[in-house]
C-alpha cells in the first residue's frame, strides 16, 4: 500500500445508530494527526453527525456514497488507508465495499455477525487480500471480540493446546437496535430461501479456511437441551450469539495452524440459575429462540415482528447504554496435562452498542495506523484475534474492559 493516501480512516454508515457511537468514540480518542472521513448516502445527515462531535471532528471529510455504487466505492477506498463499516445488513449490501477495498489494497473492518456474509467475503476476497497484503477483518464488535480475544488469551495463558473451551455468559444488561433487527431478518430470510445457506449456518466450521482439514469431533450443536454442565459447573442454556462466535473462534484457530489445539471442542452457552427453576428458564429461552426464528421465517409474521421491534436508526436509550454491562467466563482444559484455567472478560456499557463502539473504534485505530498497515503480520480475511491479537486486548484494557486469567483447580 502506498503512503500517499489522503485519509487514514473512513467510517461508512456513520449516520446509523451504531455508526454515530463509533464516530463519537473516534472523535474522542483518535490521534489529532489522524485524517478521518465519514461516509453515507446523505451529505446533510453526515454534516449533522459531524456537527454534534465537537471541535476535534470539525475538519473530518464528508463523503457521499451509496453502498451499491461500485465506482464511487473504489474511488473512496483508493483515498484511504482503512475503511470501517457499520452499514448493514451486510449480507444484502456489504460485499461491494469489501470488493472495492481488496481491489485498492485498503484495509477493511466491520461489526457483522452474519455468517453467510463472512463466508462470501472469504470466498471473494481472501486469496486476493493475501496476495496484496490487505486485511479484511469481520466481527469486530460484541460479536465476536470478547469470545475471540478471550479464547486467544486463555490458550496463551495456559501455554498448552486445549482439549476444550466453553464460554459461559454472566450478568449481561443491554438492548438492541433496528440495525440488529434488520440483520436478523435478513439472515433468517436467506436461510429460508437458500438450502446452501441453511447448510452453511448449521456447519460448525462454516468459516474454516479449508473445511477438509478440520477435525471430525462429532456433534457440535449450538442449540442443545438446557441442563447442568459438569465441565463448567453451571446450569446452561443456548446462547443466541454462539452460532457466529464459535465459528469465528474456530477460524482463528485454523488460521493460526490450530495453535489453540488441533482437536479443540469450543462452545458457548448462557448461564441459568441452578436447580429446576434454571432448567425451566432454559427451556423457555430455547422455545423463545425457536419461536423467533420460526416467526422471522414466515414473511407476514416477520413484518409483524419488525413493526414491534426497534426501527432503523433506533436503539437503546442513553441511560441503558450507560447502565449496560457484560461478564463472560471462558473455561479451558489442556490436552495432555488436564490443567484447567479460565478467562473472565468484562465490559461496562451496553454490550451491543456502547461496548461495541469502543471495541470497533479501537480496532479501526489499529487498522489505520500507518506502520501496521504498511507491514501487517498477516493478511487476508481475518478475525479480530488474527488481525490484532494482544494489541487490541491491551487497548481495550484502557477503555473499560477487563481480561483476567485464573488458574482453576
**Dihedral sign of CA atoms 218, 222, 228, 229 in order:** positive
Q: Within 10 Å of residue 313's Cβ, how many Cβ atoms?
A: 14
Angle subtended at Cα 116 by Cα 114 and Cα 119, rounded to the nearest 5 degrees: 110
pLDDT at 339 over 90: yes
Mean pLDDT of 135-163: 96
Using the CB atoms, write b or e for 26-45: b if 16+ within 10 Å: bbebbeeebbbbbbbeeeeb
Q: pTM of the prediction?
A: 0.93
> 3-class SS at 81?
strand
Range from 50-59, 107-116, 245-254, 363-372 carrying the lowest mean pLDDT: 363-372
Burial class (CB in 10 A: 0-12, 13-18, 19+), 305: middle
Which candidate, 362, 364, 365, 386, places its Cα nearest to that of 376? Answer: 386
What does the alpha-carbon distance between residue 219 and residue 211 come to, in Å, rounded to a whole number? 16
**Which has more pLDDT, 98 or 290?**
98
pLDDT digits (tens, 9 = 90+) for 360-403: 999 999 999 865 544 446 899 999 999 999 999 999 999 999 99
CB 332 within 8 A of CB 202: no
Q: What is the CATH number of domain 7-141+354-401?
A: 3.40.50.720
* Residue position matching grid coordinates 440488529: 180
Amino acid at each position: 500500500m502506498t503512503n500517499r493516501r489522503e485519509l487514514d480512516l473512513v467510517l461508512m454508515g456513520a449516520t446509523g445508530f451504531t455508526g454515530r457511537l463509533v464516530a463519537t468514540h473516534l472523535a474522542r480518542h483518535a490521534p489529532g494527526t489522524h485524517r478521518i472521513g465519514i461516509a453515507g448516502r446523505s451529505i446533510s445527515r453526515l454534516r449533522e453527525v459531524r456537527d454534534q462531535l465537537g471541535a476535534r471532528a470539525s475538519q473530518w471529510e464528508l463523503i457521499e456514497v451509496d453502498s451499491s455504487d461500485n465506482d464511487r466505492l473504489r474511488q473512496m477506498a483508493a483515498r484511504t488507508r482503512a475503511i470501517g463499516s457499520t452499514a448493514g445488513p451486510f449480507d444484502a449490501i456489504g460485499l461491494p465495499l469489501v470488493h472495492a477495498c481488496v481491489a485498492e489494497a485498503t484495509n477493511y473492518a466491520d461489526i457483522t455477525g452474519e455468517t453467510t456474509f463472512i463466508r462470501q467475503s472469504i470466498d471473494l476476497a481472501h486469496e486476493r487480500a493475501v496476495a496484496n497484503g490487505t486485511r479484511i477483518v469481520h466481527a469486530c464488535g460484541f460479536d465476536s471480540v470478547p469470545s475471540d480475544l478471550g479464547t486467544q488469551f486463555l490458550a496463551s495463558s495456559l501455554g498448552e493446546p486445549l482439549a476444550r473451551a466453553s464460554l459461559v455468559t454472566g450478568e449481561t444488561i443491554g438492548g438492541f437496535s433496528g440495525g440488529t433487527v434488520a440483520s436478523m431478518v435478513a439472515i433468517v430470510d436467506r436461510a429460508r430461501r437458500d438450502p446452501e445457506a441453511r447448510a452453511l449456518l448449521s456447519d460448525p466450521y462454516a468459516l474454516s479456511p479449508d473445511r477438509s482439514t478440520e477435525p471430525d469431533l462429532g456433534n457440535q450443536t449450538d442449540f442443545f437441551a438446557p441442563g447442568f454442565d459438569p465441565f463448567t459447573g453451571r446450569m446452561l442454556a443456548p446462547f443466541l450469539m454462539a452460532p457466529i462466535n464459535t465459528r469465528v473462534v474456530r477460524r482463528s484457530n485454523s488460521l493460526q495452524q490450530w495453535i489453540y489445539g488441533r482437536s479443540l471442542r469450543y462452545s458457548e452457552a448462557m448461564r441459568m440459575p441452578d436447580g429446576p427453576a434454571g432448567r425451566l428458564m432454559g427451556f423457555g429461552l430455547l422455545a423463545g429462540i425457536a419461536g423467533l426464528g420460526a416467526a422471522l421465517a414466515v414473511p407476514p409474521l416477520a413484518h409483524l415482528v419488525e413493526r414491534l421491534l426497534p426501527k432503523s436508526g433506533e436503539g437503546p436509550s442513553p441511560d441503558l447504554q450507560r447502565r449496560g454491562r457484560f461478564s463472560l467466563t471462558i473455561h479451558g482444559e489442556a490436552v495432555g496435562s488436564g490443567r484447567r484455567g479460565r478467562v473472565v472478560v468484562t465490559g461496562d456499557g451496553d454490550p451491543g452498542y456502547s461496548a461495541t463502539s469502543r471495541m470497533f473504534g479501537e480496532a479501526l485505530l489499529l487498522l489505520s495506523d500507518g506502520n501496521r498497515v504498511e507491514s501487517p503480520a498477516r493478511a487476508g480475511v481475518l478475525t479480530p484475534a488474527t488481525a490484532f491479537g494482544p494489541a487490541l486486548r491491551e487497548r481495550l484494557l484502557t477503555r473499560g474492559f477487563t481480561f483476567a486469567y485464573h488458574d482453576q483447580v
